[in-house]
Amino acid sequence: MIVTIDGPAGAGKSSLARDLARKLGFRFLNTGAMYRAVVLAALERQVPWDDQLQLEQLVDQLQLEFRDETVLIDGRDVTDPIRSPEVSAAIHFVADNARIRRRLIQWQREWAACGDVVTEGRDQGTDAFPDADCKIFLIASPEVRAERRWRQLRQQQPDLTLEQVLADQQLRDQRDIDRPCGGLREPKGSFRVSTDEMSLAEAVDHVARIVLEIQARTAHEA
Ligand code: C5P
């Protein structure tokens, strides 16, 4: 069974997808981490962003591994470096590149081919798995998302204001929506879930109930 979780930054997709996968005994794929890993590898190897051939070769050669929340490139743990501001600032060079996206989607499909998965990103229920068994579109108001992010960041960045986080988020949302390929859209046939009024545990229970209902219905129909 394939469960996709898409939505804007800060809606709580990663935590929800991770905990949902644990609860259901499914594997979990964080596709944002894939995009980040490609950016980190390109920065480290000094691949110019306009060198399409080198970028594609890099993606073809990269050995990406996902073990729960740990991300490895060629066996090296890059879980922290892929979250650096340098990587975030350059992400559009990879995320806007249609040919790289096609390769990453191919990789995601191969990864999902063996067994039950929860996969999380921006295009999982639209482009990567349009026939997924269960599609979730996770949303939250801009204010709630920005406040969550600000609380996460303020220990490392005490001068950061909530207004700055909100402004950055607006920019990111717009980029994700306007992307020339793989832009954020609500997948057809998806369940829209707002996390504004829900704790993480409540959201996980809510989505787990949806998944289990679909599983039961599919088993009944078979
Ligand atoms: O999920 P996260 O915020 O870590 O993703 C990093 C960036 O990668 C997003 O801002 C988005 O631009 C891009 N992305 C994407 N398609 C996905 C997952 C992430 O374009 N499936």
Task: Domain ranges for the chain, please list them.
Answer: 1-26+117-216, 30-115
**Fold classification of 1-26+117-216 (topology level):** Rossmann fold (3.40.50)
Q: What is the CATH number of domain 30-115?
A: 3.40.50.300
The set of residues, in sequence order, having a beta carbon less than 8 Å from that of 185 and lying 6+ positions away, is 126
Q: Is 154 helix (H, G, I), strand (E, B) or coil?
A: coil
Q: What is the mean pLDDT of residues 109-138?
A: 96
Query: Cα–Cα distance between 36 and 91 in angstroms, integer?
Result: 7
Hey, whose CA ends up nearest to atom 14 of ligand 1? 32
Query: Cα–Cα distance between 92 and 179 in angstroms, integer?
Result: 9
Q: What is the mean pLDDT of residues 138-149?
A: 95
Look at residue 160 in the predicted model and tell me its pLDDT: 93
User: Ligand 1 pocket test: which of 104, 107, 122 has the largest number of ligand atoms within 8 Å of its C-beta?
Assistant: 122
Q: What is the mean pLDDT of residues 17-35?
A: 96
Hey, whose CA ends up nearest to atom 8 of ligand 1? 32
CA of 175 to the centre of ligand 1 (A): 10
pLDDT at 68 over 80: no
CA of 161 to the centre of ligand 1 (A): 23
Hey, whose CA ends up nearest to atom 1 of ligand 1? 32
1-26+117-216 and 30-115 have identical folds: yes
DSSP secondary structure letters along 36-99? HHHHHHHHHTT--TT-HHHHHHHHHH--EEEETTEEEETTEE-TTGGGSHHHHHHHHHHHT-HH
Q: What is the mean pLDDT of residues 86-103?
A: 95
pTM score, whole prediction: 0.94
The set of residues, in sequence order, having a beta carbon less than 8 Å from that of 156 and lying 6+ positions away, is none
Lookup: tokens for 74: 């060629």
